[in-house]
Structure 1
Amino acid sequence: MNTPSAPARRRSLRLVLGAAGIAALAATSACSTTSTAASAPGSGSSSAAGATGGKVIQAVAAENFWGSIASQLGGSHVHVDSIISNPDTDPHDYEPTAADARTVTTAQYSIVNGIGYDAWADKLLATNPGSGRVELKVGDLVGLKPGDNPHRWYSPDNVHQVIERITADYKKIDPADAAYFDQQKQTFETQTLGPYNQLISTIRATYAGTPIGASESIVTPLAEGLGLKMLTPESFLDAMSEGTDPTAADKATIDQQIKNKQIKVYVYNSQNSTPDVDAQVKLAKSEGIPVATVTETLSPAGDSFQQWQVAELQGIQAALAKATGK
């Protein structure tokens, strides 16, 4: 049996605060959150005072990848706090602080990933129901449930669905600024996300059908969006994501895929690396198979969603080009 990494150990513990304990945290806390995303442009936090002097929506995102998008769509009319903003924090098993509880329960708008990924956020929201808060659960939006792949920020189609929904929700909360939010959305999708959209289109057009391997299920939605063929057994991908031990059969299959050059590129999540994954990365490199890296949350933490994603897509594109000569 291998020794799981720190993220894997955290995942296996599944330490989630009970609703009663979280309610107590919310009641006792009067300080501002200390886990707010960095205030660099697009990082998930925007000015609390609207540049035009209009209404400012107080919003909270459970994770900074959604927080970054929400902040950029909101501009000067939305202030966004992201609870998970440290690249070393595992969102699956995060334990909310009292400040987090207060931030979530007092927000006008909340964004959680859902699909079993951030159950702690659901418990925080449940401490203050019926408050008039508008809530977005990404899993519900895209029609998925716990047990399905929760890493929807790696699905280009789902990202655009979330953009549409956030804009609609902002307009619902602040209809007087609807035109402003429409403009923010148009600029974000056509200009800000331009390099992201172009890379996805180019990779799909050039490398569709190329077989790849991966360290965990976080890569699957991206592979689907890029038209790449995932050969790694799903049972191995899920085991790595959930922090459980993979089977000997799955590990043997992956080793053979690498040694026989059945995969052209290996993609791994550097924030969740186990001895098994480390061994696969080492083997891939020794066999001349290019390795590309992704991370679970914004890395570095001060990057915007698009800066982070573009850097990763460029790495995958370079690996595919090296492997295929295209």
Structure 2
Amino acid sequence: MPTAATSRFPRPSARTALVAAVAALTAVTATACSTSSSSDSKAGGGASAASGSAGGKKIEVVAAENFWGSIATQLGGDRVHVTSIITNPDTDPHDYEPKAADARTVAGARYAIVNGIGYDAWADKLLAANPAGGRTELKVGDLVGVKEGGNPHRWYSPDDVHKVIEKITEDYKKADPADAAYFDQQKTAYETKSLAPYTKLISEMKSKYADTPIGASESIVTPLSEGLGLKMLTPETFLDAMSEGTDPTAKDKATIDDQIKNKRIKVYVYNSQNSTPDVQAQVKEAKDAGIPVATVTETLAPAGATFQQWQTAQLQGIEEALAKATGR
């Protein structure tokens, strides 16, 4: 099965921009430039530069997407400086067009976080153009054991999120051993305080609504439905087609129409950042049938939210829809 990155057929302009970015990256390698891009943001991608590590120098981190950048920022505190490349909720990470500033950011990073699994192939190319010694690279797909062709939306898997938290902390400690205790404290505080509402809500929803049948607009919802113990009835072929930007089959659309018409699903969840005419039609059908509709987005929304603020708000929306549908 083709991956999201390869099947959306990037426009010629995207390929041209990527070539330009790679060329810029090669140029800056010689000067070992360390420059934060304009996409740097406090919640999703950037930490304050006021204070540094015990050695007086922050770990420069680049994250391909701001959902991972937000977590990296909070785990690193004032010992790291994180720059996220994808920060605009309107940007499609699958076929993002890298800029020269992105190349400079990658060139100066000691630690790079990419999603992998074909989701951000442009980031892999930027990293490959500068095989710098001493830089650590975290590919989330490799970490969680999901290969090309698998579902790339791992930030929607609660279990995988915790695996990433563990790995980032481990890598920070290796990069800055003198601050190992600090990074352990950051991780504990993040998991027990900042992330607690997210973790608690997932546990409560799983206990209360396990096995509730739902429908969805694309595969981004699948890891979350699995984490919540919900029963996804939408054909996987339809979910993949919508995520990959290909046309769904008439058979799949007829199956979904039947599920909605006969209320075989209790809730419909759709990605509002990828709302095609087919999805819009299904949302309308669901609402007309009295089926509650909840929304999710692909990247942080609003862009200045933290990972946990964003995810918790979406979970609350799904919970409200489930409560309305089931009376529980």
Q: 2:41 aligns with which of 1, 14, 38?
A: 38
Task: Assess if the C-alpha contact under 8 Å between 2:26 and 2:129 holds in 1.
Answer: no
Q: 1:26 matched to which residue of 2?
A: 25
Q: Is the alpha carbon distance of 1:104 and 1:31 closer, same or farther for their aligned partners in structure 2, counting shifts above 3 Å?
A: closer
Q: 1:182 matched to which residue of 2?
A: 184
- Alignment map for 1:58-137 (pairs within 5 Å): 58-137=60-139
Give the gaps of 5 or more residues in structure 2. none
What amino acid does structure 2 have at the position aligned with 1:227?
Answer: G
In the alignment, the residues of structure 2 paired with residue 37 and residue 291 of structure 1 have an alpha-carbon distance, to the nearest angstrom, of 33
In the alignment, the residues of structure 1 paired with residue 37 and residue 170 of structure 2 have an alpha-carbon distance, to the nearest angstrom, of 29
* 3-state SS, counterpart of residue 13 of structure 1: coil
Task: Assess if the C-alpha contact under 8 Å between 1:55 and 1:174 holds in 2.
Answer: no
Q: Is the alpha carbon distance of 1:272 and 1:157 closer, same or farther for their aligned partners in structure 2, counting shifts above 3 Å?
A: same
In the alignment, the residues of structure 1 paired with residue 62 and residue 53 of structure 2 have an alpha-carbon distance, to the nearest angstrom, of 22
Structure 2 residue 257 is the aligned partner of structure 1 residue 259:
no
Deviation at 1:259, TM superposition (A): 0.5
* 3-state SS, counterpart of residue 289 of structure 1: coil
Q: 1:215 matched to which residue of 2?
A: 217
In the alignment, the residues of structure 2 paired with residue 150 and residue 90 of structure 1 have an alpha-carbon distance, to the nearest angstrom, of 14
In the alignment, the residues of structure 2 paired with residue 155 and residue 17 of structure 1 have an alpha-carbon distance, to the nearest angstrom, of 34
In the alignment, the residues of structure 2 paired with residue 121 and residue 306 of structure 1 have an alpha-carbon distance, to the nearest angstrom, of 24
Deviation at 1:51, TM superposition (A): 5.5
Task: Assess if the C-alpha contact under 8 Å between 2:292 and 2:321 holds in 1.
Answer: yes
Q: Is the alpha carbon distance of 1:16 and 1:150 closer, same or farther for their aligned partners in structure 2, counting shifts above 3 Å?
A: farther
Deviation at 1:128, TM superposition (A): 1.1
Task: Assess if the C-alpha contact under 8 Å between 1:61 and 1:83 holds in 2.
Answer: yes
What amino acid does structure 1 have at the position aligned with 2:24?
Answer: L
Task: Assess if the C-alpha contact under 8 Å between 1:239 and 1:245 holds in 2.
Answer: yes
What amino acid does structure 1 have at the position aligned with 2:230?
Answer: L
Structure 2 residue 13 is the aligned partner of structure 1 residue 11:
no
Q: 2:278 matched to which residue of 1?
A: 276
Task: Assess if the C-alpha contact under 8 Å between 2:26 and 2:130 holds in 1.
Answer: no
Task: Assess if the C-alpha contact under 8 Å between 1:215 and 1:267 holds in 2.
Answer: yes
Task: Assess if the C-alpha contact under 8 Å between 1:11 and 1:90 holds in 2.
Answer: no
What amino acid does structure 1 have at the position aligned with 2:22?
Answer: A
What amino acid does structure 2 have at the position aligned with 1:286?
Answer: D
Task: Assess if the C-alpha contact under 8 Å between 1:116 and 1:150 holds in 2.
Answer: yes
Deviation at 1:31, TM superposition (A): 9.1
Deviation at 1:20, TM superposition (A): 5.8
Q: Deviations over 1:42-101 (max 9, x none)?
A: 332102242666431000000000000000000000000000000010000001001101
Q: 1:50 matched to which residue of 2?
A: 51
Give the gaps of 5 or more residues in structure 1. 1-6
Deviation at 1:131, TM superposition (A): 2.2
What count of residue pairs does the alignment treat as equivalent?
317
In the alignment, the residues of structure 1 paired with residue 128 and residue 53 of structure 2 have an alpha-carbon distance, to the nearest angstrom, of 34
Calculate percent identity across the aligned residue pairs: 71
What amino acid does structure 1 have at the position aligned with 2:25?
Answer: A
In the alignment, the residues of structure 2 paired with residue 70 and residue 182 of structure 1 have an alpha-carbon distance, to the nearest angstrom, of 13
In the alignment, the residues of structure 2 paired with residue 154 and residue 37 of structure 1 have an alpha-carbon distance, to the nearest angstrom, of 23
* 3-state SS, counterpart of residue 84 of structure 2: strand
In the alignment, the residues of structure 2 paired with residue 325 and residue 90 of structure 1 have an alpha-carbon distance, to the nearest angstrom, of 36
In the alignment, the residues of structure 2 paired with residue 229 and residue 279 of structure 1 have an alpha-carbon distance, to the nearest angstrom, of 22
